[in-house]
Amino acid sequence: MEPNINAGSMDSHCLEIRMEPHKVVPPPPRSTLQKLKSRLKETFFPDDPLRQFKGQPLKTKFILGAQYIFPILNWGPNYSLKLFKSDIVSGLTIASLAIPQGISYANLANLPPIVGLYSSFVPPLVYAVLGSSRDLAVGPVSIASLVLGSMLMQEVSPNNDPVLFLQLAFTSTFFAGLFQASLGFLRLGFIIDFLSKATLIGFMAGAAIIVSLQQLKGLLGITHFTKQMGLVPVLSSVFHNIKEWSWQTIVMGFCFLVLLLVARHVSMRKPKLFWVSAGAPLVSVILSTLLVFAFKADHHGISVIGKLQEGLNPPSWHMLHFHGIHLGLVMKTGLVTGILSLTEGIAVGRTFAALKDYRVDGNKEMIAIGLMNMVGSSTSCYVTTGAFSRSAVNHNAGAKTAASNIVMSVTVMVTLLFLMPLFQYTPNVVLGAIIVSAVVGLIDIPSAYHIWKIDKFDFLVTLCAFLGVIFISVQEGLAIAVGISVFKILLQITRPKTLMLGKIPGTDIYRNLHHYREATTVPGFLILSVESPINFANITYLNERILRWIEEYEAEEDIKKQSTFQYVILDLSAVSSIDTSGIVLFKDLRKAMEKKGVELILVNPLGEVMDKLQKADEARDLMRPDNLYLTIGEAVSSLSLTILKGQSSTMCGEGT
Amino acid sequence: MEPNINAGSMDSHCLEIRMEPHKVVPPPPRSTLQKLKSRLKETFFPDDPLRQFKGQPLKTKFILGAQYIFPILNWGPNYSLKLFKSDIVSGLTIASLAIPQGISYANLANLPPIVGLYSSFVPPLVYAVLGSSRDLAVGPVSIASLVLGSMLMQEVSPNNDPVLFLQLAFTSTFFAGLFQASLGFLRLGFIIDFLSKATLIGFMAGAAIIVSLQQLKGLLGITHFTKQMGLVPVLSSVFHNIKEWSWQTIVMGFCFLVLLLVARHVSMRKPKLFWVSAGAPLVSVILSTLLVFAFKADHHGISVIGKLQEGLNPPSWHMLHFHGIHLGLVMKTGLVTGILSLTEGIAVGRTFAALKDYRVDGNKEMIAIGLMNMVGSSTSCYVTTGAFSRSAVNHNAGAKTAASNIVMSVTVMVTLLFLMPLFQYTPNVVLGAIIVSAVVGLIDIPSAYHIWKIDKFDFLVTLCAFLGVIFISVQEGLAIAVGISVFKILLQITRPKTLMLGKIPGTDIYRNLHHYREATTVPGFLILSVESPINFANITYLNERILRWIEEYEAEEDIKKQSTFQYVILDLSAVSSIDTSGIVLFKDLRKAMEKKGVELILVNPLGEVMDKLQKADEARDLMRPDNLYLTIGEAVSSLSLTILKGQSSTMCGEGT
């Protein structure tokens, strides 16, 4: 069956009919070292960060280098009074949000309230020097606080052993920072890309519900509350302790929650009124503190924060413990909170950078956030990052540079030094209301609906993350969702699409027969396209699937009583890479087809594929010019001539 | 910058110049259910096993169904004396191999030697009824035996508590079978595809070395041998016990090892002399037994097997324990040995099926092997599968059907009933020599070199599997290699290739500029092609990389002092799928390009991509006919007219 005439040479005899088909050439030779270098570059330095240094004099290189490491040197020298005016407004605005949120989130992490304020003082200063985002407002965030608190609680009780708990929290923060900085330094930032948007939406909604449920303790005034996190144990604990509910607390909580949610709603409707929701928490704290103080409500069942220590962050490096039985837990907690806070910080930075049209270097940001947490862990701070809500307020309030973080930090410093006694009568219930009103924004139903509309599998990931967080645990819910996302990618590789192509009449264009209805098959040819890398995970499938295509095509021909089927054309335009197992596929296919009297033709193998096929002895036969074409059109027209020639000679034979 | 003229309508005015570009149409509508159905079908039933049932009368369906479940009904009714003659020769040949190997491998798994013979009796009978391969010779195999023995030894000592050890071995076998049958039944057979050839070559070479090292105990006659598996502890144990080396054992072992290796070499050189290597182990056993018996060598430091029980397999279902503290270990052992033996069995079946041009249904084979192990576990057998070496002998000896397994099984039965006393004086050293000569074949250096030549990364996987097995442990070495293989796939997805395309002069063909040197850029157009699915794991990279392509192109234009750059054409022919995050990429790219005054043009989105882009509100603008073309050629020529028109009107404006 195999045509003996070299299609290329035959064509040259009939140039008047058709041009010589284009040769498929091997890619320009590159050494293993060059290949390795370019692959490493694309993997670890896709943004080519040293581009700006090229061809500069040494002095400029030095200045650029310093600016690269300390972005403050970029904007610092040109800082003006006009910029400062914008930054002071936004800085004070976010401070008014940061103080009550700091206290609340520390509460959420089972840490002393003052640690929340400490964490809003040092890290913003570090970030202002090292960070490259102009809008990020730094401080503790709800999800990382929740995860830190709940993970550490597995081994140590914050009530029975508060000092050990604090030590573990600081050590976890150190590991979170170390992990974040290492990711950035080793340029492995792409690891956080594996937290897809679908995963995050489900995860955050679940976490928001878990966080809100925890606040029922404060909002209802319950004293004996479960230590577990899940939906079921919390609700059962709430309804088993109905006797402990305190109506004074409930009324106060309800009023302030309504106030905060209304303020949130107003700001969402009119972004110009951003200060309404930004100021509401502080107003609530002041108002509730005055109410408690005036009515001596702390003697009527409303629990208050109590006396807080005055003064700036005490050093805490002596509290970091890198040994002992809790080391495993601490490292795991650092890893999980580190990834979570990094994801939030990077996403926030990128979002606002895109809005204002500047670039944020992901790996550099990771180093900044990581160092900030490492410094924080030795100055009594726990895990911090750029927070979504606070950064939005910062942006709306007109922040121009990272100086707004410095303004916030100074404000918090003043509070720490002089204003701490004022919080003595702040009721815990109002902190619960602040947390609930903050995390409500994390439940993003329109986005979930959007995902459902476009991609049902993505929605499944969202749903798994959500249900996993609510019913199993925060970390495991996240792990399940990431696992499913990765599994989906692997499944796509394991079961790649193979399409049957047809010719669009009057053109040389070949497209999917089941998509473009006007496309028609070419008699004698089965044209298939493979749409994925060919590797060990899919060769078995591809082998079976392609042979099934051939059998189906043969069966169809049998019905039509034709028997012109001679060539299987495999379009490799979409096969971006191949491994050693993939080479075997071609060998096996060729062997199976030979038995059927059909020939295998390859079209447009890309550089890497071409390269490897040439190196493999088994595939050398496939690399002959009459088995290899640059386009489907050229393959079909060139091979049609061969068929025609074969038929006419047969007919001549019959005629004589 | 955006051209206001609809390219399509303009073209219709100048039909004499150029044909109307082809419309990109959405794929024919399908409901979610239809999509889900076809995706599930491709994932779980890619081979369409029920194809043959279609359109058949009920009776035929019933017969086909029975033949599908019991392949013996396919060949049984047509079985002839001629076939039987072939099968009896091959059956006796593999029996002569199976008996010494069975005893040796049971030794390797720390089980009583007789269990190895039991395992060569029942499982082959089960396989003969259920299996669809004609060449597979069933029995215990070296790697699964090694792994079973070493994993169970972590918790239970085979010397101190032999009965418990045997119970755990049978229970592990049951779980291995259950797992194998479930994989087949749930049609999840593709999971074993993740053991790539590169992984297996490294793993098997490492396992062969570990197995051989274990034989040093028998070959040197050491009595106090380490219980560990790694290279380092075994060698240190060997050289710390030099005093125990027995020269009689060493001499005997060396002689028989040379005999076996020479026999192996002869058969490899001339496949017709297959019986030389097939018969050598039995000859060695007989010869060595006679020697020991004649010279009473068992009193001179050569250890012998000793008295073996006579009789057929006793039932062992009462020894299966599905509770207790060892359940976790037993399930894990079942899983690992199940996967390993399945991989070997399926690979062997497929290899010989391809040679003889018949098909083996992977999922059905899994069910057959699984049931065989489940039955085996309740009849005193441990994990069995189709063995590479034994099946090759079977094939070379001319086996025609699975009846050769029955012949082997009957021969083993006769041995169990009447010949057991003959093995009393068989020296252990000869069993060690048999194992070493069998596993030497697993070290495949030419294949490893071949992998090195074609794909350096694959070779890294091979190397990691090899070193992991030798220095860490058999299971962990395997896990590391699989992890790296999967990581490579994920890395390819995370860092997909983006190519810059150019026009091959005189054609409408666009190809990679860095591969086809004759290709040239088209002024005003940057033509990029993305070669992977677009999803959450790569949108950040793709966004940065495409913007860098644009910046580089702009810089190049600046040098040339041109400023015609107006369009970025994104060829989506190789983007096989997209998720919700991927849609956002297009939105972001479009926004970023608008700021640069450049327009984004999409070419040839495939069915699924087209479908999802249409559903997303953000991408609707991209779906306008003047942003969407079927081929790059049509996009370029259609948009060139727009540019030309724009320039000529500018020139007219300048002229007046």
- The reply to whether residue B612 touches residue A32, judged by beta carbons under 8 angstroms, is no
Tell me if B609 sits within 8 A of A609, measured CB to CB: no
Is B398 a domain residue? yes
Predicted pLDDT of residue B122:
94
Predicted pLDDT of residue B241:
83
Do A253 and A298 lie in a common domain? yes
> CA–CA separation, A94 vs A108, rounded Å?
20
Q: Note the ipTM here.
A: 0.81
- Our separate counts of H helices and E strands in chain B read 25, 8
- The reply to whether residue A190 touches residue B32, judged by beta carbons under 8 angstroms, is no
Which residue carries 């007789």 as its tokens?
A: B114
Closest partner residue to A47 (CB to CB) among B190, B544, B612 is: B544
By the CB < 8 Å criterion, does A579 face chain B?
Answer: yes
Do A472 and A501 lie in a common domain? no
- The reply to whether residue B504 touches residue A531, judged by beta carbons under 8 angstroms, is no
Q: Among the three residues A490, A516, A541, which one is the final residue of a domain in this structure?
A: A490
| A window 505-534, beta carbon within 8 A of B | 507-509, 511-512, 514-517, 531-533
Tell me if B386 sits within 8 A of B345, measured CB to CB: yes
By the CB < 8 Å criterion, does A492 face chain B?
Answer: yes
State whether the Cα torsion B249-B254-B259-B263 is positive or negative.
positive
**Which tops the pLDDT comparison, B181 or A28?**
B181
By the CB < 8 Å criterion, does B191 face chain A?
Answer: no
Contacts of A533 in chain B (CB under 8 A): 489, 492, 532
> CA–CA separation, B363 vs B75, rounded Å?
20
Predicted pLDDT of residue A494:
86
Residue A467 has pLDDT above 90, yes or no: yes
State whether the Cα torsion A287-A289-A294-A295 is positive or negative.
positive
Predicted pLDDT of residue B137:
92
What kind and span of H or E run contains A546?
Answer: helix A539-560
What kind and span of H or E run contains A114?
Answer: helix A113-118
| B window 315-354, beta carbon within 8 A of A | 354
Query: Residue B627 contacts by C-beta under 8 Å, 6 or more apart in sequence?
Result: B599, B600, B601, B602, B621
Closest partner residue to B509 (CB to CB) among A22, A541, A607 is: A22
- The reply to whether residue B595 touches residue A357, judged by beta carbons under 8 angstroms, is yes
Instruction: Read off the amino acid at residue A66.
Output: A
| B window 241-280, beta carbon within 8 A of A | none
Is B62 a domain residue? no
Question: Considering only CA atoms, which of B49, B648, B634 is closest in space to residue B366?
Answer: B49
Distance from CA of A364 to the nearest CA of B (A): 15
Q: β-strand A599-603 against A628-629: which pairing, if any?
A: parallel
Do A178 and A268 lie in a common domain? yes
- The reply to whether residue B491 touches residue A43, judged by beta carbons under 8 angstroms, is yes
Distance from CA of A641 to the nearest CA of B (A): 20
Do A380 and A458 lie in a common domain? yes
> CA–CA separation, A205 vs A110, rounded Å?
21
- Predicted confidence (pLDDT) per residue in A605-633, tens digit: 888 888 888 888 776 777 777 888 888 98
Question: Considering only CA atoms, which of B543, B643, B526 is closest in space to residue B591?
Answer: B543
Question: Considering only CA atoms, which of A478, A198, A177 is closest in space to residue A345?
Answer: A177
> CA–CA separation, A524 vs A620, rounded Å?
25
Q: Among the three residues B466, B490, B514, which one is the final residue of a domain in this structure?
A: B490
By the CB < 8 Å criterion, does A67 face chain B?
Answer: no
Proportion of chain A above pLDDT 70, given as a percent: 95
Which residue carries 């039932």 as its tokens?
A: B315
Q: Among the three residues B432, B456, B490, which one is the final residue of a domain in this structure?
A: B490
> CA–CA separation, B308 vs B114, rounded Å?
7
Q: β-strand B599-603 against B628-629: which pairing, if any?
A: parallel
Closest partner residue to A190 (CB to CB) among B494, B517, B595 is: B494
Q: β-strand A498-503 against A525-530: which pairing, if any?
A: antiparallel
| Concatenated DSSP letters of B567-612 | EEEEE-TT---B-HHHHHHHHHHHHHHHHHT-EEEEE---HHHHHH
Mean pLDDT score, A359-373: 89
Structure-token pair, residue B517: 């040197």
Produce one character per residue of B146-155: b if its CB has 16 or more CB atoms within 10 Å, e if not.
bbbbbbbbee
Structure-token pair, residue B476: 């962990």
Predicted pLDDT of residue B30:
78
Tell me if A621 sits within 8 A of A627, measured CB to CB: yes
| CATH number assigned to the domain comprising residue A596 | 3.30.750.24
3-class SS at B425? helix
Is A333 a domain residue? yes
Question: Considering only CA atoms, which of A144, A142, A169 is closest in space to residue A158?
Answer: A169
> CA–CA separation, B3 vs A90, rounded Å?
41
Do B17 and B121 lie in a common domain? no
Q: Alpha helix locations (H) across A272-427?
A: 274-295, 327-356, 362-377, 388-396, 403-414
By the CB < 8 Å criterion, does B576 face chain A?
Answer: yes
| B window 603-632, beta carbon within 8 A of A | 604, 606-607, 610, 612, 615-616, 630-631
Mean pLDDT in chain A?
Answer: 85
> CA–CA separation, B280 vs A289, rounded Å?
93
- The reply to whether residue A495 touches residue B46, judged by beta carbons under 8 angstroms, is yes
By the CB < 8 Å criterion, does B454 face chain A?
Answer: yes
Do A462 and A394 lie in a common domain? yes
By the CB < 8 Å criterion, does A410 face chain B?
Answer: no
Model confidence, pTM: 0.80
Least confident piece of the model among A238-247, A530-539, A623-632, B1-10:
B1-10
Is A184 a domain residue? yes
Least confident piece of the model among A390-404, A553-567, A626-640, B279-293:
A553-567
Predicted pLDDT of residue A313:
87
Task: Mutation target for B interface from A37, A536, A547, A615: give the one with most B CBs within 10 A.
Answer: A536
Residue A534 has pLDDT above 60, yes or no: yes
By the CB < 8 Å criterion, does A454 face chain B?
Answer: yes
By the CB < 8 Å criterion, does A363 face chain B?
Answer: no
Structure-token pair, residue B350: 């497929």
Angle between helices B539-560 and B580-596 (to 10 degrees): 20
Do B133 and B254 lie in a common domain? yes
Distance from CA of A244 to the nearest CA of B (A): 43
Mean pLDDT score, A183-205: 85
How many Å from the N-terminal Cα to the C-terminal Cα in chain B? 22
Distance from CA of A292 to the nearest CA of B (A): 49
Which residue stretches of chain B have pLDDT < 70? 1-20, 619, 646-656
- Indicate the number of domains in chain A: 2
Residue A362: closest C-alpha in chain B: B540
Residue A1 has pLDDT above 50, yes or no: no
- The reply to whether residue A194 touches residue B536, judged by beta carbons under 8 angstroms, is yes
Residue A371 has pLDDT above 90, yes or no: yes
Do B385 and B267 lie in a common domain? yes
The three state secondary structure string of A582-595 is HHHHHHHHHHHHHH
Contacts of B196 in chain A (CB under 8 A): 535-537, 579, 581
Question: Considering only CA atoms, which of B342, B347, B383 is closest in space to residue B175?
Answer: B383
> CA–CA separation, A636 vs B235, rounded Å?
63
Domain that holds residue B388: 76-490
Do B360 and B237 lie in a common domain? yes
- The reply to whether residue B194 touches residue A537, judged by beta carbons under 8 angstroms, is yes
Distance from CA of B252 to the nearest CA of A (A): 42
* Cα→Cα distances A141→A106, A192, A218, B446, B534, Å: 9, 18, 19, 57, 31
- Predicted confidence (pLDDT) per residue in A248-278, tens digit: 888 889 999 999 999 988 888 887 887 888 8
- The reply to whether residue B194 touches residue A496, judged by beta carbons under 8 angstroms, is no
- The reply to whether residue A494 touches residue B548, judged by beta carbons under 8 angstroms, is no
Is A43 a domain residue? no
Predicted pLDDT of residue A15:
35
Contacts of B533 in chain A (CB under 8 A): 489, 492, 532
> CA–CA separation, B590 vs B571, rounded Å?
15
Is B46 a domain residue? no
Do A198 and A242 lie in a common domain? yes
Structure-token pair, residue A590: 């060729």
Is B247 a domain residue? yes
Tell me if B444 sits within 8 A of B127, measured CB to CB: no
Residue B29: closest C-alpha in chain A: A515
Query: Residue A353 contacts by C-beta under 8 Å, 6 or more apart in sequence?
Result: A133, A135, A359, A360
Closest partner residue to B533 (CB to CB) among A197, A492, A512 is: A492
- The reply to whether residue B198 touches residue A580, judged by beta carbons under 8 angstroms, is yes
- The reply to whether residue B574 touches residue A531, judged by beta carbons under 8 angstroms, is yes
How many Å from the N-terminal Cα to the C-terminal Cα in chain A? 22
What kind and span of H or E run contains B342?
Answer: helix B327-356
Instruction: Read off the amino acid at residue B188.
Output: L
Do A438 and A502 lie in a common domain? no
**Which tops the pLDDT comparison, A131 or B17?**
A131
Tell me if A6 sits within 8 A of A641, measured CB to CB: no
Residue B542: closest C-alpha in chain A: A46
* Cα→Cα distances B593→B535, B601, B641, Å: 20, 11, 21
Do B484 and B511 lie in a common domain? no
Query: Residue B280 contacts by C-beta under 8 Å, 6 or more apart in sequence?
Result: B259, B260, B263, B264, B437
Proportion of chain A above pLDDT 90, given as a percent: 23
What kind and span of H or E run contains A528?
Answer: strand A525-530
Is B20 a domain residue? yes
